[in-house]
Amino acid sequence: MGNSKTLIVYYSRSGNTKTVAELIQEKVGGEIVQLETKEARPSNYQEEVAQNEQEQSANIEPELKTSIPDFKDYDRIFIGAPTWNMALPQAVITFMNSYDISGKVVIPFNTNGGYGVGSSFEQIKSSVSAAKVLEGFSVHGGEEVNGILLAIKGNGKTKVSQEIDTWLEKIGQSKK
């Protein structure tokens, strides 16, 4: 990607998506930013998912505490999120609707509890239709519903790191 300026933005609850974001940063460089909402989210997983489901149904976009003042300077944006209710967390929708992403290269990544990416990548594609969206990366992370929080650690983290290498090579985005 030559002299492109890279931003890795992610939303993470239990740390799995954060870990993937950090692994990507190790491989491609760039700035990393965690999306946080102004209003505190429920600490209980079931309550968090229920609140997000209500927000999805009512098209509510929670206000973000996170601000990226130099966003226009980035031309390659990795967007990461867990799958909730088979879709993106609403905070990610807020992010995509808050910034002009047109003309940028967008690269989605996802963690999930075993049910896959759901509609997350399609939501990203439709939200940033004036951007070039590359093939996304999805990996099974924790299963909070089963009490498994941070699953991408130790040997699992090494395996995910290798999978990320393969994905980045495939989409032509490897190396800093």
CB 152 within 8 A of CB 122: no
DSSP letter string, 95-131: HHHHS--TTSEEEEEEEESSS--TTHHHHHHHHTTTS
Question: What pLDDT was estimated at residue 144?
Answer: 59
What is the three-class DSSP state of 139?
strand
**Which residue(s) pair with 132 in the sheet?**
105
pLDDT tens-digit map of 158-167: 888 999 999 9
Q: How far apart are CA 143 and CA 133, in angstroms?
A: 28
pLDDT higher at 108 or 149: 108
Per-residue pLDDT at 1 exceeds 50: no
pLDDT tens-digit map of 69-121: 999 999 999 999 998 888 899 999 999 999 999 999 999 999 987 788 999 99
Mean pLDDT calculated for residue range 48-59: 89
Q: How far apart are CA 88 and CA 98, in angstroms?
A: 15
CB 23 within 8 A of CB 161: yes
Per-residue pLDDT at 3 exceeds 80: no
Instruction: Quote the DSSP letter at residue 72.
Output: G
Per-residue pLDDT at 49 exceeds 70: yes
Whether the model pTM is above 0.85: yes
> Residues of 54-90 as b/e, b for ≥16 C-beta within 10 angstroms?
ebbeeeebbebebebeebeebebbbbbbbbbbebbbb
